[in-house]
Structure 1
Amino acid sequence: MNRLFWRFAALVMLAITLATCVIYFTFSRLFGDPLEEIARSQAAGQIFLLEQYIDRAPADEWLPRLNKVREVSKATLELKPLQATLAALPDSKRDQLLQGAVVIDVGGKAFYRRVDMTGARYIGSDDDVIHAQRLPIDIGQALGMEAIRFGVIALFLLVPIGWWSRRHWRGLMALSRMADDFGQGDLAARAAVRPASSIAPLAARINDMAERIALLMEARKNLLHSVSHELRTPIARLEFGLELLRERHAADDPALQKRVAAMETDVDELKTLVNELLDLTQLDHAQAMPRKPFALAPVLQACAPPMQPSSQPHFSASIATDLGELQGDARLLARAVDNLLGNAAKYAASRIVLSAMRGGSTVRIVVEDDGPGIPHEARERVFEPFYRLAREQDYAASGYGLGLAIAAKAILLHGGAIAIDDSPLGGARFTITL
């Protein structure tokens, strides 16, 4: 059964229990204790003998008749002093006894009643009380019957609730599966809910929202893809024009050669940006990745930070040999690690460390450096496309804010996660968990 049903069942049972308590206390205040009424009806035979047989005897035969009833009855009938009995009774029942009423003792399976109030039975009879014990009072049976009655009511309430909650829960699970699939990149996922379901209006609105998001994402994908592809043609023309300019006019002009070299650098940066945009677009809309088993250690051993025009930081690697195999795309995972190493190379002062180790079924790959690190408040946002920190080091390091976004998406496609914290070296530490 679903959690929704059990919550409803708990609420129904709690409501029935509370209603029973409220009814009991209300009836007790208005009409007297219901348990006493049950006990009085069960002891009706003994009360009838007292009132219709013993009390109707003449005064000189009252005690003999009481003794006859003692002989044939299973109940015990005793005479007790009035004052001692009053001391044993609660305040609410003393007035009843003094007025000559039958006072029921539910727990003791007994009742009390004064012999008379005038002393007409025998000398001092107005100071005596009849105490009847061992009466056929069984409150447990009555309570059991009430419990069965409320149990049947609860059952007839829970059966339709269970039927309804089961259908409702199925609809919620359909919405949940749709949300999971949509969140994992399946933009065609939609919730299939019966039109008569109570959540059908909600499902329809979620499906409409998903449809609009899918259209927007498709439009974004087409725009980025088209722009990136269309940019390649003018970039190729620029490269060709610069090459002709270098060969025909810049050979004897050092200033023009310098200018052409700067323009070629700009064109190379533009080509890199276009290629990274295409890569990011492909990863954004990758529904499934071709998965093949590959040895992880050789892939990581082949990774290294790119050469920097300035002084090259010292790079060291500590890669365990027992990393085993991984199901996925070796080229894509290597690209993610290379991007992290390239990011470290931009900021490291003198050291970059790559390490990998295995713990059970988990592999941890760590890239760390001794650079300025990443502030706590920016550690989630650095994986967003085009996000760059507003620091002097970041402007000096160039780049477009796409490398870490590509690395994060590549790792996510492998079912892994990436986190940032402080490195013992002094800079940032990126930890990949697969």
Structure 2
Amino acid sequence: MRKALGSVRAKAAVGATVVVALALIATGVAVLLVLRGHLQSQAGLQAQVQGAKVAGQIATGTAYDKLDLPDGDEAPVVVTDKDGRVLAAGEDVRALDGKPVGKGKTAGDSRSAEHDDDGDDDGDGGRRLGPGEIDDDVGLRNGSADVGGKVADYRFASVEAKDSRGTSVTVRAGAALAPEEDAVASVRDAMLIGLPLLLVVVAGVTWLVTRRALRPVEGIRGEMAAITASTDLSRRVPVPSSQDEVGRLARTTNETLAALELSVERQRRFVADASHELRSPIASLRTQLEVAVAHPELLDVPGAVADTVRLQRLAADLLLLARLDAGERPSDTRVELAAMVREETSQRLADRVPVRIGELAGGEVAGSRGQLARVLGNLLDNAQRHAAEWVRVSVVREGEWLALRVEDDGPGVPPDERERIFERFVRLDDARARDDGGAGLGLAIARDVAVRHGGSLAVRTGSVFELRLPAAG
């Protein structure tokens, strides 16, 4: 149960339901307020019409006991003078706001909350009315009335007038608020009944829609769990036909699995090749040492030293590749390529093929001098291995890039092999003796170092290797 409530479907359903509930509650309250205001305005207009009708009779000189007043059930009407004494009242009207109504009695304060009931100029700013005039300013307020023994709420309009003799009177006419209250109550009850039902529908629809939308995600999760359990990286998660976020997630997941499978396979090949490469010099060295123990005079010291040096170089290459694979970033020092070329080539005077110095453009790059020198050394070793008479190295400036080029007069690399040679433990000269041909790690290390320095390493033409690096600054 707790797992179901904590799922994305449950959270989405609860969230959508809460949002819809808040929106509906706010909308319902606004509707009720607008409806109540509109119905009260209608009741006030009805009361105003009844009050104006009675005030018109008084202004034209109709006697108070001859006034045509509506029935109390229809609209309670009370006419009072300036002192609040009742001059006329509708049939069955017994009290207003809890105060008795009867001819000659005082019906409480006859002044409305909105304006002064006295038509005389009493210092309050009211307009002075002449005989037979009606004040256009009508006061409206809510109150209660007892009509025939039944107390109900009404909307009262207070109309000021003067009769033909100049007596100021106030006509208070009411319109029942019961219809308004009934209408508001009906709408409120309908909302209270419909709101829970609507929220149930919203929650159910959201649950179903979310469940359907997340069904591919569950498929992806299940397949990923199976892949983890089986360690079979060749498997792929199902890709839905939709072009939405879930579809992109599935495709990205498959791309990640493919990259992971490639990386793991590459690592396996690397370990296997490294083990194979290490086995040969170790076995040779062991054989020589075992022979030396039995027959010291037969010890091949130069051969043992050569095997040891080769083993040392191979171990250093493997260690550097491991650091590069682990994401080791080069230092951010400045390296002058031209100076590095002169220094490294000066140590190769005794090489089988001489190294010539070509154009050396000035410029610095950011990175590790040791790693860049290793790249240059690997490129020179590769060139000397295939050169006939000469090897040339140069540095040229091309815009924001510095290009270090190593070329030789050898046969060059076939076009279809120019990318394969940068793979680890790959040698094109398979017929060459292993001792002379190296382990096939030099160019792979050189490219990895170039990439981690923000540059590239490629075969520009058959026998020209070009290292491009961004110029510092």
- TM normalised by structure 1 equals 0.43
Where is the strand percentage greater, Structure 1 or Structure 2?
2
Where is the helix percentage greater, Structure 1 or Structure 2?
1
Larger radius of gyration: 2
- TM normalised by structure 2 equals 0.40
